[in-house]
Amino acid sequence: MFQKIRPQDLQYFATQLSPEQVLIDEESLARCASDHTEDFIFLPEVVLQPRNTVEVSAIMAYCCQHHISVTPRGAGTGISGGALAIMGGVVLDMRLMNKIIKLDSNNFQVTVEPGMITEELQNTLLANGLYYPPDPASRGSCFIGGNIAENSGGPRAVKYGVVKDYVLNLQLVLPNGDVIWTGANTLKNATGYNLTQLVVGSEGTLGIITQIVLRLIPAVQHSLLMLIPFAHNHEACNAVNTICMAGITPSALEFMERDALVCAINHLQSSAITLPPDINAHLLVELDGNYPEQLLLEAEKISDLMAPYTIGEILLAQDDAQKTALWQLRRIVGEAVKGDSIYKEEDTVVPRAYLPDLLAKVKEIGAAYGFRSVCYGHAGDGNLHVNIVKDNMSDHDWQHHLPLGIREIFTYVVGIGGTISGEHGIGYVQKDYLDIAFSPTQIALMRAIKHVFDPTGILNPGKIFAN
Amino acid sequence: MFQKIRPQDLQYFATQLSPEQVLIDEESLARCASDHTEDFIFLPEVVLQPRNTVEVSAIMAYCCQHHISVTPRGAGTGISGGALAIMGGVVLDMRLMNKIIKLDSNNFQVTVEPGMITEELQNTLLANGLYYPPDPASRGSCFIGGNIAENSGGPRAVKYGVVKDYVLNLQLVLPNGDVIWTGANTLKNATGYNLTQLVVGSEGTLGIITQIVLRLIPAVQHSLLMLIPFAHNHEACNAVNTICMAGITPSALEFMERDALVCAINHLQSSAITLPPDINAHLLVELDGNYPEQLLLEAEKISDLMAPYTIGEILLAQDDAQKTALWQLRRIVGEAVKGDSIYKEEDTVVPRAYLPDLLAKVKEIGAAYGFRSVCYGHAGDGNLHVNIVKDNMSDHDWQHHLPLGIREIFTYVVGIGGTISGEHGIGYVQKDYLDIAFSPTQIALMRAIKHVFDPTGILNPGKIFAN
């Protein structure tokens, strides 16, 4: 279906790039054969590492002409399989395009290449008094370009929004090698169709992002962090909406059921908190702003709002070290849970007030199908990560029975106005469930849009749409 | 090219709708022949007023099958010609679909029909403690559906964003009559391509919006309003960025040059403010929040920041009546300016810090081409409305010479990272300038996307793309 890479193709790549950017050694191919999605391995035939847009354009034009499949790759930290080279071919490794092109502090904008590590970008900006809020758990290693492709979220979305809310403009190399900008470097834009927002979250299937213009906001000076322990899961979920309905917008509002925190504590060998036996869930609540007295007032208000619930002692982080320790626990949960067992991770999202119902439904379906789940996530957005752990489930049930349970969860989620992925993307692993979220008409529209951008279908094949 | 409406078509419409919803009387046709764009008149052949999605779907399916052009219409307050029935045919008047379907206070969401007047929606929500911020000047008469189609803005965008930032999901009737939802009712969504944001701002060319799910935020309790008079235009523009760079995010940051304010004062016969002869520009600055002491601190800080500029006495509105009077002046400027003369309104937007340069360039090009301009707008977003007034310019120069001047302005704007419409849309009147903002490749992509949604081209023909 796609042309296999031949020596003359490698020779051509080595003329457009330099030889060190054309990798066929075993180690490079193996490195680019996986991302963080379960345990999939799909070997590419060659890894290309462009340094600039001209090189990306040359690669795409050639691959389009010769019907060679191309899979773009950021840091490979994705968890829906977006970077997996399902059809072999070229992996386009963006790691050399990792610089800030222009920091425009006066306009609160930065133009950055896709291969810069998100946390490094954030730290550079903070040093200049500027804030780019979206903070996925993997920010210490993921690339900003991958975040754009997946429309990543993170805890701060509840107050600050997600990646798409910060992307003003994208330089995009189309599958045929043409280069366009999708929009303009302006806060408002009513000029033509919103190609920028079409490309954000398109999971590397419409084009290669080569420059990103982000809007920034002023750095925020102060924050408070509270850890609230609950006796009951559903009360923790109810408390989420209670806080929001009171007019408070925390800068993070995270839920962890007991098992999630236990995994994290064990993984880090952490002594940051105690975990009494009667506590079954926690909310991690962050408040940020420029007026510390105001934050204390809001923290007190939250404390008062917890009156109807059975809670333990609220921990208010006393210093930066304690804040860091608490956040470390929360951010390591995903990795910790996965380290323990074979797993599948679902990324369900519902209207926020239905979170308790979602959690109850997940546990109910789990009991019916015989699987255990560890749940945690961005409760303030109604986004619950459901890690289904294999434990002692038979391989047969894991392959054939569990997907039916997942379908039930997704059908329930969509039925209450939610959808099947809040931040991780569809990628490779959720393709077969897309029909739960979308009618045939919607899917046909999306396939047709894909065809507009990529008529020969060489870019990131095997993603989003079922075969 | 399109089929003219025949008696059998009218009969069919009268069976799908009721006869009172099928209008061919002179008055109805005339009402729907114009919007607020200059003085264009394009008579439709029939006006249809659907009451629900089923009726819209039946109309579109029939018109698609019979190749009848359909132009959707909100309140007809648009100023780029989006509602003009360029090819006659059907005007689809959405005014009967004007209800709130569901107010979901727990989830901070509302599902509303497209024909509800924006300000009525906002007032209903406020009465429930909820806030939908986007506030175009025409909000007292425009429809929320039209706002979605145009991705409308308004003064509050500087702090709260524009319409697109509040749209979670849309029910859309495709040109062939199929009905889809574009997304999900969730704050985060990484499931498939972002059809929702593709449709927002697509100016009624991709489908008919029949239901809108908006996200809401808690109502804000307090605000302050300051009017700062400047001796010099460019200093007022510079002050905009000074305020933003100081980390203050006003809830409105509006610029008016002297002529704009004079028009407004005369139009309203207002005595709300005095206008000394040495004052040439104003900034209207609003600060909002839940902590009044904090607002006063910020107002003082803004006052201090004005030290380098030659200003008059800052007016701090003392009560709601004075706030209303000041806002009335600002909001009436557009109408007031247009009442005075034949005009063309441009809606340029640039990165905010370049606003002084844009203003200077507009005046320079005006001097070169012999036209006078009245400038005002949403300075906090870098969005300057440029009203070019005909005054004594000859008809010939107005038709043939002025567009060259406008092209120069737009070319300059795009060259500094801006674009040609910040909130009004391309519609009918800006089509010929689209090539300044977009390369042939970008335009081809957008045309192809249009073709995906509307293969037979019956929906709102003659808009966005040049012929």
For chain B, give the number of residues.
467
- Distance separating alpha carbons of residues B162 and A446, to the nearest angstrom: 25
Q: Is B293 on the interface with A (CB under 8 A)?
A: no
C-alpha angle A219-A221-A223 in degrees, rounded to nearest 5: 115
Residue the block writes with tokens 């114009």: B34
A93 within 8 A of A48, measured Cβ to Cβ: yes
**Boundary (domain end) residue, out of B334, B365, B389:** B334
The pTM (predicted TM-score) of the whole model is 0.96
pLDDT (tens digit, 0 to 9) for every residue of chain B, 467 residues total? Answer: 999 999 999 999 999 999 999 999 999 999 999 999 988 999 999 999 999 999 999 999 999 999 999 999 999 999 999 999 999 999 999 999 999 999 999 999 999 999 999 999 999 999 999 999 999 999 999 999 999 999 999 999 999 999 999 999 999 999 999 999 999 999 999 999 999 999 999 999 999 999 999 999 999 999 999 999 999 999 999 999 999 999 899 999 999 999 999 999 999 999 989 999 999 999 999 999 999 999 999 999 999 999 999 999 999 999 999 999 999 999 999 889 888 778 888 999 999 999 999 999 999 999 999 999 999 999 999 999 999 988 888 999 999 999 999 999 999 999 999 999 999 999 999 999 999 999 999 999 999 999 999 999 999 999 999 87
* CA distance, residue A24 to nearest chain B CA (Å): 33
What is the Cα–Cα distance from B414 to B442, expressed in whole angstroms? 14
Q: Which residue of A has its CA nearest to B148?
A: A190
Q: Look over chain A and give the mean of its residue pLDDT values, rounded to a whole number.
A: 96
Residues of B in contact with A161 (CB under 8 A): 165
Which range, of A7-16, A85-94, A166-175, B384-393, averages the lowest pLDDT?
B384-393
Domain assignment present for residue B401? The answer is yes
Q: From CA B302, how far away is CA A232, in angstroms rounded?
A: 48
With 0-12 / 13-18 / 19 or more C-beta atoms within 10 angstroms meaning exposed / middle / buried, residue A213 is: buried
Question: Among the residues of B116-269, which ranges form H helices?
Answer: 118-126, 144-150, 157-160, 195-199, 233-245, 258-268
How close A280 comes to chain B (CA, Å)?
Answer: 25
Instruction: Indicate the SS3 state at residue B340.
Output: helix
B214 and B104 in one domain?
Answer: yes
C-alpha span between A84 and A341 (Å, rounded): 22
Pairwise CB contact (< 8 Å): B107 & A294:
no
Q: How far apart are CA B311 and CA B228, in angstroms?
A: 7
Residue of A nearest to B436 (CA): A191
Q: Between chain A and chain B, how many beta carbons pairs sit less than 8 Å apart? A: 248
Q: Is B167 exposed, middle or buried (0-12, 13-18, 19+ CB in 10 A)?
A: buried
Alpha-carbon gap: A203 to the closest alpha carbon of chain B (Å): 9
Placement of tokens 């899979």 in the chain: A71
Strands A281-289 and A383-389, bridge-based pairing = unpaired
Q: Which CATH number is A62's domain given?
A: 3.30.43.10
**Residue B12's pLDDT is what?**
97
Crossing angle of helices A292-305/A233-245, nearest 10°? 130
Q: Which of B107, B201, B417 sits opposite A352 (nearest CB)?
A: B107
- B342-381 residues touching A, CB cutoff 8 A: 347, 349-354, 378, 381
Cβ(B288)–Cβ(B222) below 8 Å: yes
Q: Find all residues with CB under 8 Å of B24, minimum gap 6, and list them.
A: B10, B45, B46, B47
Question: In angstroms, what separates the C-alpha of B216 from chain A's closest C-alpha?
Answer: 11
Cβ partners under 8 Å of residue B269, min gap 6? none
CB contact under 8 A, B421 and A190: yes
Using CB atoms and an 8 Å cut-off, which of residues 374-433 of chain B contact chain A? 378, 381-383, 414, 417-426
Rounded to whole angstroms, how far apart are CA atoms A311 and A306?
8
Angle between helices B355-369 and B402-415 (to 10 degrees): 160
Inter-residue long-range contacts of B269-276, CB under 8 Å, 24+ positions, other chains counted:
B270/B325, B270/B328, B270/B329, B272/B322, B272/B325, B272/B326, B272/B328, B272/B329, B273/B227, B273/B315, B273/B326, B273/B329, B276/B229, B276/B312
What residues in B contact A288, CB-CB < 8 Å?
A: none
21-60 of A, contacting B, C-beta below 8 A: none
Domain contains A2: no
Contact state of A184 with B241 under an 8 Å Cβ cutoff: no
Question: Which of B305, B334, B363 is the last residue in one of the domains?
Answer: B334
Spell out the residues 6+ positions from residue A353 whose beta carbon is closer than 8 angstroms to its own. A241, A382, B104, B106, B107
pLDDT tens digits for A216-251?
999 999 999 999 999 999 999 999 999 999 989 999
Q: Side chain identity at A251, as an amino acid letter?
A: S
Mutate to test the interface with A, among B182, B291, B445, B465 (most CBs of A within 10 A): B445
Distance CA A452, CA B274 (A): 57
Q: Closest Cα to residue B165, out of B330, B456, B381? A: B381
User: Would you say residue A250 lies in a domain?
Assistant: yes
Which residue of B60, B189, B430 to mutate against A (max A Cβ within 10 Å)? B189
What's the CATH number where B271 sits?
3.30.70.2190
| Beta bridge pairs of residue B277 | none
| Closest residue in A to B245 (Cα–Cα) | A106
Q: For residue A445, is it within any domain?
A: no
Q: How far apart are CA B373 and CA B327, in angstroms?
A: 22
- pLDDT tens column, A256-275: 999 999 999 999 999 999 99
**Is A443 among the domain residues?**
no
Q: Tokens in use for B117?
A: 């007047």
- Where does A171-251 have alpha helices with state H? 195-199, 233-245
Same domain, B116 and B194: yes
Is the same domain home to B314 and B408? no
pLDDT at site A321: 96
Is A308 within the bounds of a domain? yes
Q: Are residues B210 and B273 in the same domain?
A: no
3-class secondary structure, A169 = strand
H helices of B144-288, where? 144-150, 157-160, 195-199, 233-245, 258-268
Residue B456 is assigned to a structural domain of this protein? no
Cα–Cα dist A192/A386, whole Å: 39
* Cβ within 8 Å, pair A434-B192: yes
Q: Looking at residue B390, what is its pLDDT?
A: 87
Domain C-terminal end among A184, A218, A252: A218
The pLDDT score that the predictor gives to residue B356 is 95
Q: How far is CA B62 from CA A287, B18, B85, B460, in A?
A: 54, 16, 18, 15
Amino acid at A415: G
Q: Are A456 and A177 in contact (CB under 8 A)?
A: no
If asked whether residues A142 and A243 sit together in one domain, one would say: no
- Cα atoms in the Cβ-side hemisphere of radius 13 Å centred on B213: 22
Supply φ then ψ for residue B335, to 5 degrees. Answer: -60, -40
Half-sphere exposure of A46 (CA within 13 A, CB side): 26
Phi and psi at A414, nearest 5°, equal -65, -35
The per-residue b/e assignment along B44-67, b for 16 or more CB within 10 angstroms, e otherwise, is bbbbbbbbebebbbbbbbbbbeee
Q: What is the pLDDT of residue A335?
A: 87
Instruction: Please say if the pLDDT value at position A7 is more than 80.
Output: yes
DSSP B81: S
Let me know: does B142 contact B82? Beta carbons within 8 Å: no
Distance CA A92, CA A59 (A): 9
Q: Give CA separation, B330 vs A412, B49, B255, B284, B326, in Å.
A: 49, 34, 9, 8, 7
Subunit contact A194:B190, Cβ cutoff 8 A:
no
Q: Which residue has the tokens 């659907």?
A: B50
Could you tell me which of A242, A278, A238, A240 has the C-alpha nearest to residue A258?
Answer: A278
Cα A114 to Cα A73: distance, rounded to the nearest angstrom:
10
Cross-chain residue pair A188–B422, CB shorter than 8 Å? yes
Rounded to a whole number, what is the distance in angstroms from the first to the last CA of chain A? Answer: 13
Q: Is the pLDDT of residue A340 over 80?
A: no
Residue in A closest to B217 by C-alpha: A247
Q: B440 touching A, CB under 8 A?
A: no
Per the structure, the complete domain to which residue A361 belongs is given by 341-437
B229 Cα to chain A: minimum distance (Å): 23
User: Are B415 and B365 part of one and the same domain?
Assistant: yes
- Chain A contact set for B161 (CB, 8 A): 165
CATH of residue B204's domain is 3.30.465.10
In a domain, B463, yes or no: no
* Closest listed residue to residue A50, CA positions, set A3, A13, A105: A13
* Whether residue A85 is found in the same domain as residue A110: no
If asked whether residues B410 and B315 sit together in one domain, one would say no
Alpha-carbon distance of A94 to A50, in angstroms, equals 6
Asked if A350's CB is within 8 angstroms of B188's CB, the reply is no
Mutation target vs A (from B191, B200, B296, B435; most A CBs, 10 A cutoff) = B191
**Do B179 and B254 fall into the same domain?**
no
**pLDDT tens per residue, range A195-220:** 999 999 999 999 999 999 999 999 99
Of the candidates B241, B417, B423, the beta carbon closest to that of A184 is on B417
Query: Cβ of A421 and B185 within 8 Å?
Result: no
Question: How many CB atoms lie under 10 A from the CB of residue A394?
Answer: 11
Strands of B26-182 (E only): list them: 46-48, 70-73, 90-93, 100-104, 109-112, 130-131, 167-173, 179-181
Task: Name the band, by pLDDT with cuts 50, 70 and 90, for residue A443.
Answer: very high
pLDDT for residue A392 = 84
Do A247 and A304 sit in the same domain of this protein? yes
Distance CA(A395)–CA(B118), nearest Å, equals 56
pLDDT in tens, A367-391: 999 999 999 999 999 999 999 988 8
A212 and A227 both lie in a single domain: no
Q: Does A176 touch chain B (CB under 8 A)?
A: no
Q: For the domain that residue A413 is a member of, what is the CATH number?
A: 3.30.70.2740
- Say how far apart CA B100 and CA B115 lie, in whole Å: 10
**Preferred mutation among B105, B160, B187 to probe A, highest tally of A CBs within 10 A:** B187
* Torsion angles phi and psi, residue A47, rounded to 5: -110, 125
CB-CB neighbors (< 8 A) of B102 in chain A: none
Which of A108, A181, A191, A385 would best serve as a mutation to test chain B binding (most B beta carbons within 10 A)?
A191
Residues B394 and B428 in one domain: yes
Dist CA B187 CA A300 (whole Å): 27
The B residues from 196 to 255 touching A (CB cutoff 8 Å) are 197-198, 200-202, 206, 217-219, 241, 244-245, 247, 249
Amino acid at B110: V
Give chain A's domain count. Answer: 4
